[in-house]
């Protein structure tokens, strides 16, 4: 794939007569905003493109007359949280309505076809991932991966997926720029895929009537352990997450976070991974590096002070962690400004 924008978006934007818009104050400036308006429809579409790997999208489309929308596409996957979706998409009977997760598993050369009535609305935050992401990037990183396309299809129509809904809401509200935005969106897409894998695994278990987990793991290659999380446990984990984001300079080891969540450490680690798709330590590191990147690009604070702001007593340890996460030293961010 040359780029996800070129291969997946440009032709569709041209077909819908979408034009770039400059007044994008309601959206993150790292992305691009497009608008369209004609007798049949109107709306806006914001997208953040990452090379040939993924895109993050926010759109609000309104249809003033009945009709169809159709176009050919290359292979890709789409996962969306719809605040409202009145479109009837061929092959996707479950994602209509409000507050629903909708997915689209697109084949190479396939045709997207959606029908709509006058007054229909499609409003959502979504991610689009390319085969280069889920075949090359993930495979190169982990060595073996589940059938991502099958798992994405399984979660279509989900209406009780609070972790994924909360993640999409964070994406729509995020306003960081520069390397902070790169880190945030990269992490958010990975987190979304992890959550989908866990939920699909749960759905499989339910449909198989409790089939031995080893058999399911063998069929999917490698699946991280999944477990159900009660509403109370979900709220407890959200309290721990809020503390991490509010206090990146605090002591954020597993013992401390488990105590905040009122859980034992073993249960906390398992529940956290099930909800967020990564270990608590990985989540803490990502949040800290996102905050550090924001401070590096948006303030004149010395690097030693920034290290303390994100929980590192020694600037050298902070620089090493930042370099491992981003591929560049903190000083390089300042130099590039």
d(CA 190, CA 184): 10
Quick one: pLDDT at residue 48?
98
d(CA 330, CA 307): 10
pLDDT tens digits along 204-248: 787 666 544 444 444 444 434 445 578 788 889 888 988 998 899
Helix pair 231-246, 280-298: axis angle to 10 deg: 30
Beta pairing partners, 58: 46, 125
d(CA 295, CA 104): 37
Quick one: pLDDT at residue 318?
94
The three-state (H, E, C) secondary structure of 266-301, written as one string: HHHHHHHHHHHCCCHHHHHHHHHHHHHHHHHHHCCC
Distances (CA, A) of 312 to 50, 142, 203, 302, 335: 30, 29, 41, 13, 22
Quick one: pLDDT at residue 242?
86
Quick one: pLDDT at residue 97?
82
Q: What is the pTM of this model?
A: 0.65
Which residue numbers in the chain have pLDDT < 50? 211-226, 337
Phi and psi based region of residue 311 (left: phi greater than 0; alpha: psi -120 to 50; beta: remaining):
left
Residue 27, classed as helix, strand or coil, is coil
Distances (CA, A) of 169 to 66, 106, 123, 271: 30, 24, 13, 21
Q: Can you list the domains of the chain with their CATH numbers? A: 4-208 (2.60.120.10), 231-335 (1.10.10.60)
pLDDT tens digits along 91-135: 665 677 889 999 998 888 888 888 899 999 999 999 999 999 998
Distances (CA, A) of 36 to 23, 31, 127: 14, 17, 21
* Cα dihedral: 29, 32, 37, 42 (round 10): -80
Quick one: pLDDT at residue 92?
65
Quick one: pLDDT at residue 109?
84
d(CA 325, CA 190): 14
Quick one: pLDDT at residue 221?
41
d(CA 8, CA 26): 24
C-alpha closest to that of 193 among 282, 285, 276, 74: 276
Residue 16, classed as helix, strand or coil, is coil
């Amino acid at each position: 794939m040359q780029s996800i924008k070129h291969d997946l978006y440009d032709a569709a934007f041209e077909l819908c007569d979408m034009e770039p818009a400059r007044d994008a104050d309601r959206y993150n400036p790292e992305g691009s905003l497009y608008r369209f308006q004609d007798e049949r429809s109107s709306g806006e579409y914001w997208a953040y493109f990452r090379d040939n790997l993924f895109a993050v999208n926010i759109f609000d489309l309104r249809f003033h007359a009945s009709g169809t929308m159709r176009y050919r596409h290359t292979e890709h996957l789409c996962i969306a949280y719809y605040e409202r979706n009145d479109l009837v998409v061929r092959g996707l009977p479950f994602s209509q309505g409000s507050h629903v997760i909708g997915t689209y598993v697109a084949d190479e050369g396939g045709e997207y076809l959606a029908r709509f009535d006058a007054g229909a609305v499609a409003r959502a935050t979504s991610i689009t991932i390319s085969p280069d992401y889920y075949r090359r990037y993930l495979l190169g990183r982990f060595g073996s991966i589940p059938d991502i396309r099958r798992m994405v299809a399984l979660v279509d129509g989900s209406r009780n997926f609070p972790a994924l809904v909360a993640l999409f809401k964070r994406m729509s509200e995020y306003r960081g720029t520069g390397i902070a935005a790169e880190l945030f969106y990269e992490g958010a897409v990975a987190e979304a895929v992890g959550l989908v894998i866990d939920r699909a695994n749960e759905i499989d278990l339910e449909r198989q009537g409790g089939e031995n987990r080893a058999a399911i793991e063998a069929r999917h290659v490698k699946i991280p352990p999944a477990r159900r999380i009660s509403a109370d446990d979900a709220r407890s984990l959200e309290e721990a997450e809020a503390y991490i984001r509010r206090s990146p300079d605090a002591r954020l080891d597993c013992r401390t976070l488990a105590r905040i969540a009122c859980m034992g450490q073993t249960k906390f680690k398992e529940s956290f991974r099930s909800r967020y798709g990564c270990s608590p330590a990985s989540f803490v590191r990502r949040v800290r590096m996102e905050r550090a990147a924001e401070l590096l690009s948006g303030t004149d604070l010395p690097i030693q002070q920034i290290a303390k702001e994100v929980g590192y007593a020694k600037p050298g340890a902070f620089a090493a962690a930042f370099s491992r996460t981003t591929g560049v030293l903190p000083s390089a961010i300042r130099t590039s400004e």
